[in-house]
Structure 1
């Protein structure tokens, strides 16, 4: 499953569930997104975020990424690891399959900085 984020001027950013779900958990747990918005963004439906939302996400990620280790991954529970992803499917503990890479979070942050008029997600 994947989502495409799009600004009104046509900029896009694609994300898969493996990166998106931990990113949403991170934003919700930090209070950047409320629980309802984070939940809606987890479905493959049209959700609109305004420019202020995009700026708030970008500002949070600026701060968060300044302390994130290079090559790190944020796991579904919010913890951070530098252990490389083996891409093995963990049937016994599905949460182990999800991690938002620092690389992807950086692209998301940059996208949010550019999304001055907000963006849609679907």
Structure 2
């Protein structure tokens, strides 16, 4: 499953579930997104975020990434690991399959920085 984030001027960014779910958890737990918005963004339905929302996300990620380890991954529970992803599917603990990479969070931050008119997610 994947999502496409798209600005009104047609720029887009794709993300898979493995990166998106922990990203939403991070944004919700930090208070950047409310629980209802984070939940809606987890479905493949049209959700629009304003330019203010995008800038708030970018500002949070800028601060967050300043302390994130190079090559790090944010797990679904919010913990951070630098262990490389083996891409093994963990049936016994599905949460271990989800991790937002620092690389992805950086791309998402940069996308949000330039999304001054907001973006849609679906």
Q: If the TM-score is normalised by the length of the shorter chain, which range does it land in? A: over 0.9
Shift in Å at residue 51 of structure 1? 0.3
Provide the C-alpha distance between the structure 1 equivalents of 2:35 and 2:117, rounded to a whole number of angstroms. Answer: 22
CA distance in 1, matches of 2:37, 2:54: 13
Match for residue 91 of structure 2? 91
Equivalent residue, structure 2, for 1:57: 57
Corresponding residue for 1:11?
A: 11
RMSD: 0.2
Determine the structure 2 residue equivalent to 1:121. 121
SS at match of 1:20: helix
Counterpart in the other structure of 1:75: 75
Gaps of 5+ in 2: none
Partner of 2:27: 27
Distance 1:110 1:9 in 2: 16
In structure 2, how many angstroms separate the alpha carbons of the residues matched to 1:8 and 1:17?
23
Q: Which residue of structure 1 lines up, in the alignment, with residue 101 of structure 2? A: 101
| TM-score, normalising length: structure 1 | 1.00
**Deviation (angstroms), 1:33:** 0.1
Q: Distance in 1 between matches of 2:9 and 2:105?
A: 21
Length-normalised TM-score, structure 2: 1.00
The CA distance in 2 between the partners of 1:100 and 1:35, in whole Å, is 19
